[in-house]
A and B are shown apart, each in its own frame.
Chain A
Amino acid sequence: MSTLTTASLSLEAGVAHLEKLLRQGSASIPASLSRKLTAAQSPDTLQAIFPGGSLYEEWKYTPLSILRTPWTLGQSVYSELSQTALPLPLSFEMPSLQAIEASPALESLPLPASPWEKLILSGATTYAAATLDQAGLYGFSVSQPEPCRVAPTLCTLYVPAGVEAEMLLHTAIHPEGLLLLQLHVALEAGARLVLYHAAPEGIQGNLLLLLSASVGKEASLSIFSLPGRYRWIRTESRIALNGAGSESLLYGAHTAHENEVCDTAIRVSHLAPHTHSNQLFRSVAFKGGRRIFLGRIHVAREGQKTNAYQSHKALLWESGAEVYSRPQLEIFADDVRCTHGVTTGFLQGDMLFYLLARGLPESVARTLIAEGFLMEALEAIPGESLRDYARTQLGLSP
C-alpha cells in the first residue's frame, strides 16, 4: 500500500470504493450504479464512480451521453510496462518515449532500475501505489483495450522530500471503451514532479482523468498535457498548494475534431503564502468539435503573496466549432497578483493573407498558424524532440 499520508486527498474513500468494484470481478456494474450511468446528465454519474472527486458545478457544457452506454466492468486494466526493458520495450510503440530517449535534456537523467516495478498494473488490478523515491524518469501506462467496458483505475504517487522526478502517463483506450483514471499525487517539501500525459496515435475512446495533488513547501508540480485525440476526454485537476513557496505549472495544447469533446477543468488552490501557479492552454476546435476549459484560481486567506496566472486562447477553425471558456478567480487574500486571460476567435484573415503573400499554400499556412498557436502552450517542454513529438501528435499537417 502507498505511503501516502495526505488525508485531504480522500484516498481511503476512493480505495474502498474501487476495491468494492473490483470484488465484482467481470460482473456488470451494480444496478444502482448502472441506473446512474444511464440517467440523464447529472453530476451524480461521476460521483458514483469517483466519490469525492468531481468539480460538480463545472459540468454545464460537458455532454455525458457517452456514459449512458451500458458499460460492463471488465478485467481490462493493465500496464504494458516491463521492468526488464528500460526505458520501455519497443513493442510498447509509444513514440513519445523514443523521442524522450533522443532528447539530450532527458537523456542525462538517471533511469532508476527499481521504481518501475512499483508502477506495474497487471491483470485485473485497478489500484496502484508508488513512491517515487529516486530521482529520474518514471513510466505509467494504462490501457483499456476492450469495447463497452469501463476500467476504473486508482493510482497514488508519493514523491518524498527533495526528490526530483519525471513521469510519463500514457493512456491507450479502445475507441469504444471508457477509462476512469483517478490519480492522487502528493509532493513533500522541496520535491519536484514533471508529469507528461500522452496518448498513442489515432483516436482514443473515452477518458475521465481525475487528478488531485497536494504540493508541499517549496515543492513544484508541472503537468504537460500533450496533444492526443479522444472521442471524449475530461481532465479534472485539483491542485492544492499547501506549502509555502510551492508552485503548480499546467500546460496543454488540445484539439477537438468532429464528434470529439475535449474538456479541461482546473482548480488551483493557493492555501499558503508565496505560492505560484500558471495555467497556459491553447486549443483549436474544428467543425463539430467541442472544447471546454474551466479554469479556477482559488486564493485562500492564507495565500498572501500569491502569484497566479491563467491563459486559455482558443481558435475556432471554422463555423460549427464550439468553445466554452470560463476563467474564474476566487480571492480571499488581499496581497496577491492574479491575472487571467481568455480569448476565443476565428483565424485572423490578415494572418492568413500574410502567409499566402509569402507563397504558402492555404493548407500549409493554416497548419503552420494552428501548430504555432497550439505549441505556444508547450514551449516550456524540456527537450526539442519531445516538443517535435507533441507537434506531430497535433495531427494537423495535411
Chain B
Amino acid sequence: MLEIRNLHVSVEGKPILKGLSLSIQPGEIHALMGPNGAGKSTLAVVLAGKEGYEVTEGEILFDGQDLLSLGPEERSHAGVFLAFQYPVEIPGVSMVQFLRAALNAHRAARGQDPIDTAELMRLLREKAALLKLDPAFLTRSVNEGFSGGERKRAEIFQMAVLNPRLAILDETDSGLDIDALRIVAEAVMNLRRPDNAFLVITHYHRILQYLVPNFVHILADGRIVRTGGPELALELEAKGYEPFLSPVV
C-alpha cells in the first residue's frame, strides 16, 4: 500500500529526514516511535502534502502511485488521512459544514453526487456515537473551544467519517485521559479493516496496549534505526531511546 524509499526531506535547507524507508501493507498497524526532533511529525505532514517541506531525494508510492506528485486534497481523495498533532480551529465553520464539504469533495473525486442531508446527518451521528461525542458538538465550530482531548477525539471522528485507507495518527494519544484514550483506541480498532492500515506516531506504550501494532519502528535522526514487533515498544518503555540512538539495523 505505502512504500517509502530512501526519503530525504529538508526544511529551510535543514535536513530532517535522512534516508527513511518504510513499507506498510493493507491490514497492518505500524507504530512509529522516537525522541523529540527525530522527524516523526515531519514524516506525517510530508505524507499529507504540506508545503514548505522539500523532498530532496527518494520516493513515496501509495498504491503504486507517486504520492509526491499529488496535492494534499488529491492525497486525501486517494485515501490518505492525517490526524493532526495540533488540530487548528476553524472559526465560524461547523463540523457539519466542514464534513459535508469534505465528503462532497471526496464524492466528486469519485464521480458521485453530493451527499444527501439526511444521509449526512445519519453518518455523522453514527460516527459521533462511536467516539462517544455529544451530537451537539456537530454544530460547534471546528475545534473552537475544544479541549485538547476533544480535539483528538474530533480527529478520529473525522477519520471515521472519511473512511481512509491509510490513517496517520500523529500523537493522537497525547492530551487524552485514560478513558478518552480507550474510547479513541477502541474506535480506531472498530474502523480497522483488511484493506486499510494505520501509522501510529506516539511517545508512549499505553496506546499500543489497545492498538496492538504489527510493527514498531524507532525513528532517530531522520531514519528508522530499529524495527521490531510489539515487544520493542515495551523495551523502549524500560530502557528509553538511548540504547537505540546509534544506528543498528
Residues of A within 8 A of B (CB): 348-351, 353-362, 364-365, 368-369, 371-376, 379
**Does B82 make an interface contact (CB < 8 A)?**
yes
- Interface size for B (C-beta < 8 A) is 31
Question: Would you call A358 and B98 a contact (CB within 8 A)?
Answer: yes
Closest approach, in angstroms, between the C-beta of A292 and any C-beta of chain B? Answer: 22
Residues of B within 8 A of A (CB): 48-52, 71-73, 75-77, 81-82, 84, 87-93, 97-98, 101-102, 105-106, 109, 141, 158, 162
Closest to A369 in B: B90
Question: Would you call A371 and B92 a contact (CB within 8 A)?
Answer: yes
Question: Would you call B73 and A372 a contact (CB within 8 A)?
Answer: no
> 10 closest pairs, A vs B, by CB?
A372-B92, A372-B93, A359-B76, A356-B72, A358-B102, A376-B92, A359-B105, A375-B92, A357-B48, A356-B73
Question: Would you call A359 and B109 a contact (CB within 8 A)?
Answer: yes
Q: How far is the CA of A211 from the CA of B106 in the complex (A)?
A: 48
Q: A358 — which chain B residues lie within 8 A by C-beta?
A: 76, 98, 102, 105, 158, 162
Contacting residue for A360 out of B50, B73, B87, B141, CB 8 A: B73
Closest approach, in angstroms, between the C-beta of B42 and any C-beta of chain A? Answer: 14
Question: Would you call A353 and B72 a contact (CB within 8 A)?
Answer: yes
Question: Would you call B84 and A354 a contact (CB within 8 A)?
Answer: yes
Closest approach, in angstroms, between the C-beta of B8 and any C-beta of chain A? Answer: 22
For B49, B89, B102, B106, which residue has the most chain A Cβ atoms within 10 angstroms?
B102
Q: B141 — which chain A residues lie within 8 A by C-beta?
A: 372
Question: Would you call A353 and B101 a contact (CB within 8 A)?
Answer: no
Q: B162 — which chain A residues lie within 8 A by C-beta?
A: 358-359
Question: Would you call A351 and B88 a contact (CB within 8 A)?
Answer: yes
For B49, B92, B93, B101, which residue has the most chain A Cβ atoms within 10 angstroms?
B92
Q: B75 — which chain A residues lie within 8 A by C-beta?
A: 357
A355-B98, A359-B102, A368-B98 given; 10 more Cβ-contact pairs under 8 Å: A353-B51, A354-B84, A356-B49, A357-B75, A359-B76, A359-B109, A368-B93, A369-B93, A372-B91, A372-B92
Q: How far is the CA of A379 from the CA of B50 in the complex (A)?
A: 32
Given contacts A354-B84, A368-B90, contact A359 B51 (CB under 8 A): no
Interface of A is mostly: helix
Q: How far is the CA of A233 from the CA of B120 in the complex (A)?
A: 41
Q: A379 — which chain B residues lie within 8 A by C-beta?
A: 92
Contacting residue for A357 out of B72, B92, B106, CB 8 A: B72
Closest to A362 in B: B73
Q: A350 — which chain B residues lie within 8 A by C-beta?
A: 88
Question: Would you call B105 and A361 a contact (CB within 8 A)?
Answer: yes
For A359, A364, A365, which residue has the most chain B Cβ atoms within 10 angstroms?
A359
A to B CB contacts below 8 Å, 13 in the list: A348-B88, A353-B50, A356-B49, A357-B48, A357-B84, A358-B105, A358-B162, A359-B105, A360-B73, A360-B102, A365-B101, A369-B90, A373-B91
Closest approach, in angstroms, between the C-beta of B62 and any C-beta of chain A? Answer: 14
Q: A362 — which chain B residues lie within 8 A by C-beta?
A: 73
Given contacts A356-B71, A359-B73, A359-B76, contact A374 B98 (CB under 8 A): no
Closest to A351 in B: B88
Closest approach, in angstroms, between the C-beta of B168 and any C-beta of chain A? Answer: 10
Q: B77 — which chain A residues lie within 8 A by C-beta?
A: 359
Q: How far is the CA of A351 from the CA of B98 in the complex (A)?
A: 12
Q: A375 — which chain B residues lie within 8 A by C-beta?
A: 92
Closest approach, in angstroms, between the C-beta of B35 and any C-beta of chain A? Answer: 24
Contacting residue for B90 out of A349, A354, A357, CB 8 A: A354
Q: How far is the CA of A358 from the CA of B89 in the complex (A)?
A: 14
Q: B82 — which chain A residues lie within 8 A by C-beta?
A: 357
Q: How far is the CA of A379 from the CA of B92 in the complex (A)?
A: 8
Closest approach, in angstroms, between the C-beta of A388 and any C-beta of chain B? Answer: 12
Q: How far is the CA of A355 from the CA of B102 in the complex (A)?
A: 8
Q: How far is the CA of A308 from the CA of B158 in the complex (A)?
A: 38
